[in-house]
């Protein structure tokens, strides 16, 4: 059984590891410190909640390793005035981190089971600036557009056109781009007046971004 002292030590090491690996943005580090990751993993994984690894969650999905969450959040360059769209709620951890920095977060999940569980976590933790939508992530949430920032937490081979349309001018989208069964790259797209400016970053592996809303879960 993990003691409170063990948890405190684990969280200190967690933050030190993020700094060692190059995460420097103070707002991102503060958000990672504020969000209790143990609330977003399965009960059997609570003791390892702050280890730097991805973990399984229901519906065949995963919660990304903390470094990747911090890295993608840092690349997104979120400001306190921003409205953020996240595609792929999962357990809600990434949305929770974003909510500690942004003005408002809308997160889309295709599995109702995951969406409902995430809503309960957000309510329990008092994260009132997150809206959870059950739907098709590839379609985004056009009625709430435009968004200053869009974060996609599942892999796609091509940039979803509907999400580009929902990105504000000068806005930024970060997503894992590449075939789902291969190594993908974290890509940042900035919407300029006449084009999307692309930057490629680290290799990653994410579950695929699937079309439609799940029928069973």
Q: Which domains does the chain have, with CATH numbers?
A: 4-204 (3.40.50.150)
- Which member of 51, 64, 99, 185 is catalytic? 64
Instruction: DSSP letter for 63, please.
Output: E
The predicted pLDDT at position 1 comes to 53
The predicted pLDDT at position 10 comes to 73
If you search the block for the tokens 């973990």, which residue do you land on?
55
Report yes or no: 42 and 36 within 8 Å, Cβ to Cβ: no
Stated pTM of the model: 0.93
If you search the block for the tokens 């900035």, which residue do you land on?
190
35-80: pLDDT as tens digits: 999 999 999 999 999 999 999 999 989 999 999 999 999 999 999 9
99 part of the active site: no
- DSSP H or E run through 80: none
Mean pLDDT within 102-122: 97
Mean pLDDT within 188-206: 94
Give the separation between CA 208 and CA 4, rounded to whole angstroms.
37
Give the separation between CA 152 and CA 150, rounded to whole angstroms.
7
């Amino acid at each position: 059984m993990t003691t409170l002292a063990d948890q405190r030590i684990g969280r200190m090491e967690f933050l030190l590891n993020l700094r060692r690996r190059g995460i420097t943005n103070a707002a991102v580090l503060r958000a990672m410190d504020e969000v209790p990751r143990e609330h977003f993993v399965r009960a059997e994984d609570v003791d390892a909640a702050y280890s730097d690894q991805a973990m399984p969650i229901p519906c065949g999905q995963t919660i990304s390793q903390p470094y990747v969450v911090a890295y993608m959040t840092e690349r997104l360059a979120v400001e306190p005035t921003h409205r953020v769209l996240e595609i792929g709620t999962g357990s809600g951890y990434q949305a929770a981190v974003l909510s500690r920095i942004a003005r408002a977060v809308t997160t889309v999940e295709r599995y109702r089971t995951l969406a409902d569980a995430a809503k309960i976590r957000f309510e329990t933790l008092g994260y009132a600036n997150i809206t959870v939508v059950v739907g098709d992530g590839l379609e985004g949430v056009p009625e709430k557009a435009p968004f200053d920032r869009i974060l996609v937490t599942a892999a796609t081979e091509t940039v979803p056109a509907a999400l580009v349309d929902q990105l504000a001018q000068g806005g930024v989208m970060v997503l894992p781009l590449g075939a789902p069964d291969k190594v993908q790259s974290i890509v940042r797209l900035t919407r300029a007046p006449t084009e999307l400016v692309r930057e490629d970053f680290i290799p990653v592996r994410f579950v695929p971004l699937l079309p439609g809303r799940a029928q069973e879960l």
